[in-house]
Amino acid sequence: MISSHKKLQGELTELKSQLEVAEKKRVDAVEDAATKLRASEDKVRDLEIKFEASTAAVTASALALEAMEARMKASETLVTSIKSDNETEKTVGPADGVGSLESASVMVDEKHLLKKDIVKEDVISLSPLPPSPLPPAPLSPSPLPPSPLPPSPLLNEELNRRVAKLELENADAVKALHAAALESERLTKLLAALEAEKNVLESQWQREVATSLTRTKELETQVEELEKQMRESTGKVEELEKAVQGQQTEVEERGKKLEEESKRFEEQSKRFEEQSKTIEEQSKTIEEQSTRIQEQETQIISLGKQATEDRAIATRVPGLEAQVTAFSQSLEKQVFESQNLSLRVKELEGELRSQEERSRKNEEASVAKLEAVQKEALLKEALTKETLQKEALQKEALLKQQVVDLQQQVVDLQQQVVDLQ
């Protein structure tokens, strides 16, 4: 029973160590969840910074696109004006003389200078440096010296080249604006997904902390109850040990007394036998030894009394055995109660182990859910990226088609200019 009690104490110590290990694992899991939550928050902040930078880039690209559209409108106006001037020149004809030719040449040179100023402004507006706050100087209306021949073909070629360049720059600006818009949209969706993931992780972390605290309190209560039962069991075992030691001492003392009485009875029996032999041998001399016979009779009477006492002691021995048997039964009953207590402690150990197993499974399930959420977020991000790439390719193809259409319009204008020439 003492060894069983020590075994229970060892199992209780082992349970305490297992409880400490489980608590440490739980704390580590909570700290890991908090670390992941902080990393997610840092990632969200980085994406917010990138989103703000992308928004600023989109705004700058929009402003540049507006400036480019204004320059394109100015270029279209210039082309329309040149076309009307060419029609006017064709209407005037050769009958107007040299003066008309000179005036047309002056007009073409003025348009040429105006186009140079517009192209120069376009280049300045598209450069990375900020434009000068001063407005462009107005065109001087001073007459230019007349050219001997009108540079209509060269002017049209230069104009077409500049218009094509402006169209390419406009297409690049549109592509940059579209890319910035796509990046802004992607960052917005990613930011929303990360916000949702952060909220989910935060709620999971709070639930894990609350569950951990509740389970810790329950386990502490169970351990306290188990310690209380162990203390009560220890007290009962100590009392039982003291009672057993006292009974063992009493039984040993009684056994010693019985052994001494048995030896004395054997000695007296031997002496009685010797005296009987002596009486038989001296039966012929009874008369002569009457005094000795009386003394021997007195001794025999005393021996009879002693024998009676010995027999009474002998009759008391079975009662002592019954008493010892009852004491043994009481001891067995106490041992049975101690075994029941040991079984209860083992049941509590099994409950603690099952609770620890459930806690471990819950932790594994939480980690698996967290990994599933992360995988789903990555998959959604990949799908979103693929969709955005497809849309970007479609829009890029559409823009290329628009550029081709513009180029065809420019070619048509060039052909019209050639026809007018």
The domain segmentation of the chain, as residue ranges, is 2-238+361-420, 240-279+291-342
Angle at 75 between CA 73 and CA 78, to 5 degrees: 110
Identity of the residue numbered 198: K
Question: What is the Rg, in whole angstroms, of the alpha carbon atoms belonging to the chain?
Answer: 59
Task: Record the tokens describing residue 166, joined without a space.
Answer: 């402006």
Question: In angstroms, what CA-CA distances link 268 with 171, 282, 305, 306?
Answer: 139, 20, 12, 9
The 8-class DSSP code of residue 194 comes to H
Yes or no: say if 43 and 94 are a contact pair by the CB < 8 Å rule.
Answer: no
Identify the pLDDT of residue 413: 60
Encoded tokens for 60: 């700058």
Q: Taking the mean position of all CA atoms in its chain, how far away is CA 179? A: 35
Contact 230, 12 (CB under 8 A): yes
Question: Contact at 8 Å (CB) between 82 and 125?
Answer: no
Q: Both tokens of residue 27? A: 């704390």
Q: What is the DSSP letter of 286?
A: T
List the structure tokens of 77: 């106006």
Q: Answer whether 0.85 is exceeded by the pTM.
A: no
H/E element, 212: helix 152-281
139 vs 412: CA distance, rounded Å: 30
User: How far from each other are the two terminal CA atoms of the chain, in whole angstroms?
Assistant: 124
Angle made by CA atoms 189, 193, 199, in degrees to the nearest 5: 145
Q: Which amino acid is at 238?
A: E
CB count in 10 Å sphere of residue 254: 15
Q: How far is CA 396 from CA 63, 265, 321, 383, 387, in A?
A: 20, 127, 110, 20, 14
CA 48 to chain centre: 23
DSSP 30-65: HHHHHHHHHHHHHHHHHHHHHHHHHHHHHHHHHHHH
The total number of residues written for the chain in this structure: 421
Which residue's entry shows tokens 């209509």?
Answer: 152
What tokens does 302 get?
């005393």
SS3 105: helix
Q: Cβ contacts of residue 353 below 8 Å, gap of 6+? A: 18
Give CA–CA dist 375/368, Å, rounded: 10
- Please tell me what DSSP assigns to residue 136: P
Residue 252 is classified by DSSP as H
Token output for 217: 């309190």
CB-facing half-sphere around the CA of 225: CA atoms within 13 A:
11
The reported pLDDT for the residue numbered 357 is 84
Q: In a structure prediction context, what are the per-residue pLDDT tens digits for the chain, which is 421 residues long? A: 455 556 556 666 666 676 677 667 767 777 777 787 787 778 777 777 877 777 777 777 778 777 777 877 777 787 777 777 766 755 654 444 334 334 444 444 444 444 444 444 443 444 443 443 333 433 344 444 444 445 567 877 887 887 788 778 778 877 877 887 788 788 888 878 888 887 888 888 888 778 777 877 776 776 677 667 667 766 766 776 676 676 667 667 766 766 676 576 567 667 656 765 665 564 555 455 445 545 655 655 554 455 455 445 545 555 655 665 676 677 677 667 767 766 776 787 777 778 778 877 877 887 787 788 778 878 877 777 787 778 778 877 776 776 666 667 666 666 665 665 5
Chain-centroid distance, C-alpha 169: 50
What pLDDT does residue 46 have? Answer: 78
Using alpha carbons, list the distances in angstroms from residue 119 to 79, 126, 150, 158: 13, 11, 21, 11
Contacts of 249 (CB under 8 A, 6+ apart): none
Q: For residues 404 and 86, give the distance between their C-alpha atoms in angstroms, rounded to a whole number.
A: 26
